[in-house]
Amino acid sequence: MRTLQSDYMHWAKFKPAVRYQLTGSEVPHFRMDSLPIAIADLDLDGASHPRYPPLREAIAGRYGVGPERVVAADGTSMANFLAMAALISPGDEVLIEQPTYELLIGVASFLGATITRFERKASDGFRLDPDQVASMLTPQTRLIVLTNLHNPSSVLAGDAELRALGELARRVGARVLIDEVYLDSAVPPRRSAVHLGPEFVCTNSLTKVYGLSGLRCGWILAEPELAERMWRLNDLFGVNQAHPAERLACIAFEHIEKVVGDNPAMLARNRERWNEFVRARDDLDCIPAEHGITTFPRWRLGDTERLDAHLRERYDTAVVPGRWFEMPDHFRVGFGLPTPEFEDALARLGAALDDVK
Ligand SMILES: Cc1ncc(COP(=O)(O)O)c(C=O)c1O
C-alpha cells in the first residue's frame, strides 16, 4: 500500500506542548518585523509572478549557481516532493538511507517507488558509506536519497563520499537527491553538492537554519533541463508561489546576515554543553556533536518512548523518541534553544535519565 499520510509530521505538529522542547530541529524563529519592511514592499496588488526572477536570483546568488538551476517550492518539503515526482515513475527503484527523515520514505512510497534502504550504521557513527550504497545498487536504481547534514545525527557527508555516490549513480543512469535543509549549519558551512556534478539534485529552505519556517521559502538546485521539468511539473500542483511570501523571502535574503545573527554561536555553545553532558553519562552513547541542530544518542536502557513519557510527565520536557527514525533505543535532541533554556532542559533530561535507570 502506498503511503497516504505522514504519521511523523502529524505527531510533530500536534504533540502536547511542553515548556522545554528538545524536540525542535530549527533555530529560534526570526521576527521579520525586525527588518526594515514597508507594506508597499510586499506589492499587494493581487498579481502573481511566475518563477519570480528576483527570488530565483537571490537563491542562485547565495548558493553560487545560475538562476536557471533554481526551482522555488513551498519549503524543503514541497521541494523534495517535486524533485522526487520529477525523477521517479511508479515501480522505479529508489535507495534511501536508514535512518532518515520519515517523509522522504513516505513521498517515494506515495509515488509508487520500490524502496530499498542502505544503512548508516550507528556503530560507524552514522557515516555515509558509499560501499553500503554500492552493495544495494542495481541497474534499475533511478534515485539515491539522503540528508546532509544527516537527520537525525547531523553527521556531515564530505565531498569524497558524495562524489563516490555520484559515480555510482552515473554508472546506472540514476540521480542523487540530497536534502540539504541542515547543511548551512555545518561548521564551517559547506557548499551544496549540486556543484559536484549533474547527477546531484539538492533541496533546501529558509526553515531550519534561518528560523523562517512560516515563509515556506524552499528550493531545488538541479541541472537546467531538470529544473525546467520541475517548474513545468509544479504547474500541476501549485502554479505559482504566494507573492507576498516571495517578496518577504527576497527581503530576508537581502538581510541574511541579520537573519543568521547569533545562531551559529548559540548552536556551538549548545553542542559544547551537550558534549559535556554526554561525557558525564554512562547510560548514553553518542558521537560528539560537531555540526548542525540535532543529535541522536543511544540510550542503553532501551525504548526511549518510556524516557520521553517520563520527561513529559515529570519535567515538562520532551525529546523525539527514536521510533520515528526506526531506531527505538535512540532519541533526537535539538540544539535550537537559547543556551540558558537549553541548559535547563539538559538538567531536566539528566534528572529523568537518573530516575528511570
Ligand atoms: C530533513 C528534513 N527535510 C525537510 C524538512 C521540512 O523542511 P521545510 O520546513 O523547509 O519544509 C525537515 C523538517 O523537519 C527535515 O528534517
Q: What is the mean pLDDT of residues 33-41?
A: 94
- Percentage above 70 pLDDT, the chain: 100
Q: Extract the C-alpha cell encoding 244.
A: 507576498
Amino acid (1-letter code) at residue 86: A
The length of the chain is 357
Q: What is the mean pLDDT of residues 194-222?
A: 98
Tell whether ligand 1 has an atom less than 6 A from the beta carbon of residue 213: yes
pLDDT per position as a tens digit, 292-309: 999 999 999 999 999 999
Would strands 320-321 and 331-334 be described as parallel, antiparallel, or unpaired? antiparallel
Question: Can you tell me whether residue 212 is helix, strand or coil?
Answer: coil
Decide: 352 and 307 in contact? Cβ < 8 Å.
Answer: yes
Query: For residue 356, how far is its CA from the centre of ligand 1 (angstroms)?
Result: 32
pLDDT score of 239: 87
Ligand 1 neighbourhood includes 151 CB (under 6 angstroms): yes
Q: How far apart are CA 103 and CA 81, in angstroms?
A: 9
Distance of CA 77 from the midpoint of ligand 1 (Å): 6
- The minimum-distance atom of ligand 1 relative to the CA of 213 is 9
What's the pLDDT tens digit per position in 91-107? Answer: 999 999 999 999 999 99
**Range 114-126 average pLDDT:** 98
Beta bridge partner(s), residue 21: 318
Q: Which of 76, 213, 291 has most ligand 1 atoms within 8 Å of CB, for mutation? A: 76
Ligand 1 closest atom vs CA 204: 10
**CB of 192 closer than 6 angstroms to any ligand 1 atom:** no
CA–centroid distance, residue 101 to ligand 1 (Å): 8
Residue 283 alpha carbon to ligand 1 centre in Å:
30
Distance of alpha carbon 156 from alpha carbon 150, whole angstroms: 7
CA of 75 to the centre of ligand 1 (A): 7
Cite the DSSP H helix spans in 98-200: 102-110, 130-136, 159-172
Is the CB of 336 inside a 6 Å radius of any atom of ligand 1?
A: no
Q: Does the beta carbon of 294 sit less than 6 angstroms from any atom of ligand 1? A: no
Q: Is 11 in the pocket of ligand 1 (CB under 6 A)?
A: no
- Express each pLDDT in 265-298 by its tens digit: 999 999 999 999 999 999 999 999 999 999 999 9
Distance 66 CA to ligand 1 centre (A): 24
Q: Check whether 1 has a pLDDT greater than 90.
A: no
